[in-house]
Structure 1
Amino acid sequence: MNSNQTIFSSVAFLHEVPKMRRETYNVCVTQPLKIVSDGIWTSNEGSKPLESAFTMLELQIVIIFAITQLFHVILKRLGIPLFVSQVMTGFLLGPSIPIGPLERYKKMLFPFGTPDILSTVSSFGYSVLLFLNSVKMDLTLIKKTGHKGWIIAIATYFVPIIIGHLAILLFGTKWREMLGQDAIGLPVVFMSHSGCSFAVISSMLNDLGILNSEIGRLALSASFVNDLTGSIFAGLGTAIVSSMKMKTYSRIINVVIFPAYIILIPLIGRIALRWVVKNTPEGKAVHKIYLCVIMALFIVFGYVAMFIRQPFLAGAVIFGLAVPEGPPLGSELVHQLELFSTTFLSSIFVTCLTMKVDLTKCDSLPLIGVICGVIIVVHIVRWMLCIGICRYCKMPLNDGFCLALILSCKGVVDLVSYILVYDSTAQSKRVIDVMVVSVLILGTISTYGVKKLYDPSRKYAGYQKRNIMNLKHNNELRIVACIHKPCHMNHIKNVLELCYPAHENTLVVDIVHLTELVGRSNPIFIAHKLQQTIGSSFNNYSGELILTFDLFERDYPGLATANTYTAISPVALMNEDVTNLALDKNANLIILPFHVKWGGDGSIESEDINIKSLNSKVLERAPCSVGILVNRGPSNINSINYKVAMVFLGGPDDREALCLAKRFAKNFDNMLFVYRLLARDHDMSNWNHMIDDEELRGVCGAHATFENVTYEEISLEDASQTTFFIKDIANKFDFIICGRRNGVRSPQTFGLEKWTEHLELGIIGDLLASPDTETKTSILVVQQQSTSFIN
């Protein structure tokens, strides 16, 4: 009997197991099998909780989970992914890593037969994981994939396979003499390493924080096509091989049914499930009954796949493609099932499968050398193809190599597929042992290599000056404005109206609605003006946004242009969407909403830590100036006849804020008050002070160019007087603008740095946003574009 089979398995399967893989066991089993323990205190003959199957299952799960987390705590500091910890746990609990006198405890923990129960429970979790990965896939990605992605995917899949078959034709006899029966598995080796898993690549890119970068999007497209192509050919191959012993008629039927299955299930299922989406009210969760029906169909289609001689997992994957990705249905399924399947059961499943590997028996150096040589050659060919295609497409050599590393990454899906191939007796144990180790090596090298070689922030270095201060006279002002929630829209619109779109001061604004990526694998960026002919359902995300800013554009015909976008990406990577858009649109200013929302009575209503994190990342990497908008007043204030205050202490950020305030003053219905806060012993000959004087010439003295501007210099002795002044003017104006002045020390604010709660606002902005300051004024804190990029 095979070590993977136990007395709990069907005896009818034994005739399919090769003799070389059969082993004999003498097993003593108590009948009937005890499921639940009697407990510690209820037994008269002494407590024996480990004799019950359920107690043993619980203990196994706890031990596996604890050891996995212990490995991960150590390995994650080296940038090694979680699946390596899961595999190492399997090696430790299995025969691969002998632990001397503790071996008998391993046998007590996993007595003969109990791994069947553990594997059955955890395999369901892995099936759900594959189902959710398919749900997250966006089939329209096939249409969106450009020629570059298609060529890379097809070339890196088929060329190594062709080269591998040619090598077998030339050297097959020699390899058979050297390896014996193990040589039969060589085609499986180079075919499996020619492909890549979309789920593994997507997870890797998300972990590295480059999912929505340029190279990340290309890798997603290429891996999607590669994975889909490989899955179809693998399914057809399985259908052909499994029907070899059938009659000709049955063989044809079996081969035809599989393509019909993979076409009809997604086609019909997607139509039915779109009806569910259509009948779910916007903003509401999908009804639980629909989720239960979907999970029942998930099991049914898995068993249907088995009837056409395909694995249960194939049915789960194909049915998952029928579920519409994203909200409300896809995101709800992910929300309900991901923690249960991904974090818990599938992790245990990987460990259980790895326990079948016995590295101590892989002692054939010729076998190890040939298998490793085949794997190395396959990946070198794939790297050369990927780098060559990227160079032909004018991509930098470093980016081409990083893309090749990404597409070579192996992970959980690959590991499980190798073990399942072994369970189906299609591959020898020693070959599978080497392939499992190759997964660990490739997964670690790819992740670590890309992390060290690819720096997505370098594209922001060496850019031209993109700020308001260096904007030429009468040039259009280009703004990127971010919106997370509906309450942000009116406040952003008020600021845009303050910028006074006019014939000599035209305004171009790109408004991006940032939405969290849930229920799908690939990030999406939608330009709504270009999307009118597509007829997509994504307008549900941003319908109110589009209407609001279309009306704003109509209010200023020929003077203002408003483009609306929706960016759907992971929360941790939203800053890439913002900075990429600002870079592409040559923006002068990015406007970000503050993370705190105030109620009508002036108290803090809510705080969003994700928005705070996004703002900090954009401030660090923005390719232009940045303004953080703090909304403490009502959102329905009209921007006509605004009283605006500018608090000026000096420095690049304050000069940038002053330039924007001057633009506000071009609307003569607005009143601008510029307050220059000076230390009593300030140095008139200081270079920065002289630059500040030059910039202020447009609003003070005989050089003033605006009649609606009031300039006032105020001498302050210390920070306490500055605090008193800020609180004094807080309720006198409708809008206050100031510079961030991050890291700049001055006598007027000395000592306040220690009390600053929100570093992204600077000292003055933090004073105005403090709950101790009673005001209903809106505040804009400006940071000028950095002259040199700091990683």
Structure 2
Amino acid sequence: MATCYNVTLSASNNIWMTDDVMIKRVPLLCLQIAYNLLVSRFLFFILKPLHVPLIVAQMLTGFSVSRSLLGYFEGVITLFYNPRGILAVETISNLGIMYYVFLSGLEMNSDTILRSRKKGTSMAIAGIVTSMLFGVGFLTLQQKLLDKKEKTHIKAYLFWCLTLSVTGFPVLARILAKLKLLYTKLGKDTLTAAMLTDAYGWVLFTLLIPAANNWGEGYYLSVITTFLFIAFCFTVVRPILTPIIENRTNKNMWRKSHMLDVFIGLFICSYITDFLGTHPIVGAFVFGLILPHGKFADMVMEMSDDFVTGILCPVYFSGFGFKLDLPVLWNTPNSVLMMLIMVLLCIPKVLSSLIVTFFFGMPARDGLSIGLLLNTKGVMAVILQNVAWDKRFLDPCSFMVMTLAIILMTVIVSPLINAIYKPKFRFMQSQLRTVQKLRFDMELRVVACVHNAKHATNIIHVLEATNATRISPVHVSAVHLLELTRHGTAILVSQMADLNNIAGAETTNYGPKAEFEIITTAFKEFVEQYNAVRFDTSSVVSSYTTIHEDIYNVAEEKRASLILLPFHKEYSTVGGSPEISHNEHCEINENVLQHAPCSVGIFVDRGLGSLLKTKMRIITLFIGGPDDREALSIAWRMAGHSGTQLHVVRIHLLGKAAEEKVLKKKISKSPHGMLSTVMDGVMQKELDEEYIFSFRHKAVNNNDSIVYLEKEVHSDTGEEIPTLLNEIDKPGYDLYIVGQGSGKNKTIFLKLLEWCDHPELGVIGDILASTSFGTHSSVLIVQQYMVGRKRVVYKCHNEMKNSPEVL
């Protein structure tokens, strides 16, 4: 049925007249935008525990007013989809999707696609081919079940199969980020395959869309001219635009008004590809792909991403959801088999991934997970379905089955991956990756987390002291931590190994290029000075509230024994007063300490120098417990360096100072809690004595640069500890290495803990890091990894509970 649009304009105020104000274009547009924003955000919030993408919530918003639900009432259809005003709604929605695709192209790096590895390429090609073959079979089976007499057109097969084969790369990247799998090997392999699948999908899309209009000479002419235009954009337009944009960006000459130039280029490219017979979004995607990445892309995304994805796109995706008409599916013959076909459409990607991962020697669980993840659909699948529906290539039943399959594939990904990998218990089966358990003839693997170039230099000075030799080498994984400040996907691509390890790359995908280059250069120079050291650098971009989970994944992937973190305060080398305090970094350190899969060290820098310039004097304070044993293990390793002097002071707690207090347990209410605490204390004392005996026998007696002393503390008031520390500090040291000691339940430490400014450092570490203590020594606070260890939980620093609880 054709619809004629009334283009007559009226300036009258219809709300005071008898005419219905809702039949006009602007009121209907405003109502739809407001409804889509409100309901999609509400559904997204409700489905947040399942990690459902926003695009699904937007589709369900349109479905809510379809004939299957509220649209059953005629007044709802008249209100939201009145024919007299639907033209304006469709115009805005198509404009929004065109800009959305432009941003997707701006986020994707074409150099990454060309530099892809064999594994990712194999997964992408296998997924596309398998989906195409299975798609033909499933559509043929469905047509037979419908008992259709007329022959299905080849265009229906093409659109059906291509919809089944594509992967929504931006949507998948966000899912991986939310599941905290982005910086795992699984995440890297999946994201590479998804990017390639998306790229191949765009090529097939460009070939297929002209076929929707005609198959004759016009089809070949349209395809050839479109690819010639794309080649022209990459070979001519890109070399001209890139230097101009980068020059203005580097000199901070870009203004918001210059965004009009970007819009003009977007509209011109979209018009050209539409004129050539393809689709406007092809030109929009290509224009985004040829523009520079890095700082320019960040600026464009920051200014337009929220408006496009939050206001314009919901109108388009809700319109797609509005086309869902479930009664059509229920009333067809063999409706149950139709639903079965919808479920079976999830199989091709999973099957192809299992086959490819088998040939590459990967676990079957990874193959299953990659297949499920590659099933994620995005904007291209929606556009293909819309074109097939508008051109009537697919009958209502086929359209309904594929549309429901798109939603099903995207929705089930997160819950199934969570069930397969069980993130909360991912590290429970980890080996005891600690420095104490590591033999001297084994490689020490360290994850060094830094926020800026200064942190990198400070951490390197600590790594220099670890005494890397050919017998006992050191492998450093330097991780540049960056806060996720927007929802772009280019930032997520920055984790790919190919990009991260390229020194001198033109731009990084997120954050300033210079910062990452300086960090990489600093570690490169460090490795050149010490032949027994290897390193790799990468960026982790995530919200600061959850970035600790990404750090866990990196440590697990690298099989690290130690995570090094910078203290959140930066001290001046003159006077020792704090210069800068980053409280958000404090939260990161506290979160990492909670469930790290290996030991953790927090480094408080006060001008620790390089071993190349001075001999280092290190002191370790040993009171007892696993953290102190780990601290002594690190100091013992450092003492092997010829230019290092190590002083070990063991502090004995005697009399009232040795009294213990059983803390209230929050979870366990076992009547054997007291007995367990006593037995654990006895066992820890035995382990302490055994380790100290081994240290004195193997290290002190065979190395003149190691000095061992013992001190005693009798009072439980807490005043004796600071006095003793001041006495010990008189000779002056370059570096203190102490245990975090959060599990100690001595009464003396509980009293001192009430006065701690930084509980994550422990009692001793907090005193040494305090400006009132007076020392100018740097401090390394160590926490040893233990499965199921008791942890004291605090509020944010400077706000402690009156009585900390042990979990």
**After TM superposition, is the score higher than 0.5?**
yes
The equivalent residue for 2:48 is 76
The one-character-per-residue Cα deviations of 1:487-538 (angstroms, maximum 9, x if unpaired) are: 2133213323444567887655443434567634423355899746x97655
* 1:692 is the counterpart of 2:678: no
The one-character-per-residue Cα deviations of 1:83-117 (angstroms, maximum 9, x if unpaired) are: 3332222122333313777x636634554433332
Secondary structure at 2:747 match in 1: coil
The one-character-per-residue Cα deviations of 1:155-199 (angstroms, maximum 9, x if unpaired) are: 222234335546778996775536898998465334422332222
Secondary structure at 2:765 match in 1: helix
Specify which of 583, 603, 608 is matched with residue 629 of structure 1: 603
Where structure 1 has 5 or more consecutive residues not aligned to the other structure, the ranges are 10-30
The amino acid across from 1:672 in the alignment is H
Deviation of 1:402 (Å): 1.5
Deviation of 1:407 (Å): 1.6
Identity %: 23
* 1:482 is the counterpart of 2:453: no
The equivalent residue for 1:717 is 715
Deviation of 1:283 (Å): 8.9
Change (3 A) 1:225 1:686: closer
The amino acid across from 1:545 in the alignment is I
The equivalent residue for 2:96 is 125
Question: Which whole-Å CA distance do the structure 2 matches of 1:189 and 1:790 have between them?
Answer: 55
Contact 2:446 2:561 in 1 (8 A): yes
Secondary structure at 1:749 match in 2: helix
The amino acid across from 2:128 in the alignment is Y
Question: Which whole-Å CA distance do the structure 2 matches of 1:149 and 1:123 have between them?
Answer: 32
Question: Which whole-Å CA distance do the structure 1 matches of 2:775 and 2:248 have between them?
Answer: 42
Change (3 A) 1:502 1:395: closer
Change (3 A) 1:640 1:73: same
The equivalent residue for 2:562 is 589
Deviation of 1:758 (Å): 4.8
Contact 1:197 1:410 in 2 (8 A): yes
The equivalent residue for 1:762 is 762
Change (3 A) 1:252 1:117: closer
Deviation of 1:713 (Å): 1.6
Question: Which whole-Å CA distance do the structure 1 matches of 2:601 and 2:347 have between them?
Answer: 48
Change (3 A) 1:756 1:419: farther
* 1:605 is the counterpart of 2:577: no
Contact 2:349 2:372 in 1 (8 A): no
Contact 2:700 2:706 in 1 (8 A): no
Question: Which whole-Å CA distance do the structure 1 matches of 2:22 and 2:712 have between them?
Answer: 81
Equivalent residues in 2 for 1:295-694 (5 A)?
A: 295-325=263-293, 327-366=294-333, 368=335, 371-455=338-422, 460=427, 462-473=429-440, 477-499=444-466, 509-515=476-482, 519-526=490-497, 531=502, 540-553=514-527, 556=529, 558=531, 561=533, 563-567=535-539, 569-571=541-543, 582=555, 587-598=560-571, 602-603=577-578, 605-607=580-582, 609=584, 611-612=585-586, 614-616=588-590, 618-619=592-593, 622-631=596-605, 633-634=606-607, 640=614, 642=616, 644-665=618-639, 670=645, 672=647, 674-681=649-656, 682=658, 686-694=682-690
Contact 2:246 2:292 in 1 (8 A): no
Deviation of 1:664 (Å): 4.4
Range with greater deviation from structure 2 (443-452 or 90-99)? 90-99
Contact 2:452 2:519 in 1 (8 A): no
Deviation of 1:242 (Å): 2.0
Contact 1:627 1:780 in 2 (8 A): yes
The one-character-per-residue Cα deviations of 1:726-778 (angstroms, maximum 9, x if unpaired) are: 88479855432211223332233125556666554334334544677666542
Change (3 A) 1:347 1:597: farther
The equivalent residue for 1:158 is 129
Change (3 A) 1:117 1:665: same
The equivalent residue for 2:191 is 220
The amino acid across from 1:745 in the alignment is N
Question: Which whole-Å CA distance do the structure 2 matches of 1:773 and 1:344 have between them?
Answer: 55
Question: Which whole-Å CA distance do the structure 1 matches of 2:521 and 2:200 have between them?
Answer: 41
Change (3 A) 1:54 1:702: closer
Question: Which whole-Å CA distance do the structure 1 matches of 2:351 and 2:779 have between them?
Answer: 54
Secondary structure at 1:388 match in 2: helix
Contact 1:528 1:565 in 2 (8 A): no
- TM-score, length-scaled by structure 1: 0.82
Question: Which whole-Å CA distance do the structure 1 matches of 2:196 and 2:290 have between them?
Answer: 17
Question: Which whole-Å CA distance do the structure 2 matches of 1:158 and 1:419 have between them?
Answer: 23
Question: Which whole-Å CA distance do the structure 1 matches of 2:214 and 2:499 have between them?
Answer: 50
Equivalent residues in 2 for 1:205-284 (5 A)?
A: 205-244=176-215, 248=217, 250-276=218-244, 278-280=246-248
Contact 1:462 1:789 in 2 (8 A): no
Secondary structure at 1:130 match in 2: helix
Question: Which whole-Å CA distance do the structure 2 matches of 1:192 and 1:528 have between them?
Answer: 30
Contact 1:34 1:52 in 2 (8 A): no
Change (3 A) 1:74 1:324: same
Secondary structure at 1:365 match in 2: coil
Question: Which whole-Å CA distance do the structure 1 matches of 2:516 and 2:122 have between them?
Answer: 34
Secondary structure at 2:148 match in 1: helix
Task: Count the aligned residue pairs.
Answer: 753
Question: Which whole-Å CA distance do the structure 1 matches of 2:340 and 2:767 have between them?
Answer: 65
* 1:58 is the counterpart of 2:30: yes
Question: Which whole-Å CA distance do the structure 2 matches of 1:669 and 1:255 have between them?
Answer: 70
Contact 1:129 1:346 in 2 (8 A): yes
The one-character-per-residue Cα deviations of 1:535-592 (angstroms, maximum 9, x if unpaired) are: 76557453323443444455x555x535352335445676577556655665443311
Question: Which whole-Å CA distance do the structure 2 matches of 1:349 and 1:528 have between them?
Answer: 34
Contact 2:241 2:291 in 1 (8 A): yes
Where structure 2 has 5 or more consecutive residues not aligned to the other structure, the ranges are 660-677, 792-807
